[in-house]
Amino acid sequence: RMPSIFSYQSAEVDWCEGNFEHSAVIAEYYNTVSAGAPEGRAGTSLLLPGLFSVYFHMTLSYVGQLLDELSILWTLAVAYSFWYPKVYFPRFIKSRKHFFWLTGITTVISTLMSFIKPAFNAYVLNCIAFHLLYLTWQELKKCKDKRVHRMAAVMVMWWVLAISSWLSDRFLCGLWQAINFPYFHSFWHVLIAMSLLYCCPLVIYFDVRYEMPSFEPKLGYWPSDSWPVVVPYVALEEAHKQC
């Protein structure tokens, strides 16, 4: 008989961490804990992806896998819909409303395709990061503000560490299990959250430049630039553009 889509370990993927080694009810203990811990620091928009990721790694269920991946897909779709710069719209798109429709239709089609091969979703979602990096590069070429370039560099650094951890867990699992250290997917959760912590202010910064020309966005770090651990933010001042 086919297993229930809600059953433990009914998902198409199983990460490198051993299952039920630290708890009788949590399949991947460290992946579950790490999935829930960073999302609060990266913003409330990641609350649902964080909760669904916790559910997925706790159960490794087919439904959990779909919820985890589709919540990320729809979060990206919302972000693109509202903050994708008009200057990069395809030529046949004439307004933000038309772009909403394009994004919505694309997301619905992608959602339906996700049910055909859910394991393929993660690779596609990671590839979206390359488009975001391309957009960041295009914006940096227009900007001379050193703080913007610094924040972008830190964002990319965290992303490289994150994607390296994800790939290592996926393709070098045998090595990590041999040395009893199969925890790189949990590192991915923390590192990608750190990357998003710097990505979000950058997106806001560029959005203000396009949508609020009467203000000059300034990037800052709380509590201080000199602290080793900081929270980046955007402050608005009267227009006096550097970029």
So what's the pLDDT on residue 61?
Answer: 96
Binding site for Ca(2+), by residue number, is 14-15, 17, 19, 28
pLDDT tens-digit map of 45-74: 678 899 999 999 999 999 999 999 999 999
- In-domain check, residue 173: yes
- In-domain check, residue 5: no
Work out the number of other CB atoms within 10 angstroms of the CB of residue 91: 5
Domain count, the chain: 1
- In-domain check, residue 22: no
Binding site for Zn(2+), by residue number, is 57, 185, 189
Work out the number of other CB atoms within 10 angstroms of the CB of residue 5: 13
So what's the pLDDT on residue 147?
Answer: 93
So what's the pLDDT on residue 180?
Answer: 96
Backbone phi, then psi, for 233, in 5-degree steps?
-150, 170
Which position has the token pair 């009267």?
Answer: 238
Q: Which residues contact 86 (CB under 8 A, 6 or more apart)?
A: 96, 99, 210
Binding site, by residue number, is 14-15, 17, 19, 28, 57, 185, 189
Mean pLDDT (10-residue bins), the chain, 243 residues: 82 95 96 79 71 96 94 93 94 93 94 84 86 95 94 96 96 96 96 94 95 92 86 85 54
- In-domain check, residue 157: yes
Contact 184, 60 (CB under 8 A): no
Work out the number of other CB atoms within 10 angstroms of the CB of residue 232: 21
How many residues belong to the chain? 243
Strand partners, 233: 220
So what's the pLDDT on residue 40?
Answer: 47
So what's the pLDDT on residue 162?
Answer: 96
- In-domain check, residue 151: yes
- In-domain check, residue 11: no
So what's the pLDDT on residue 240?
Answer: 55
Q: Which residues contact 140 (CB under 8 A, 6 or more apart)?
A: 148, 149, 152
Structural domain that includes position 224: 29-238
- In-domain check, residue 127: yes
- In-domain check, residue 24: no
pTM for this model (two decimals): 0.90
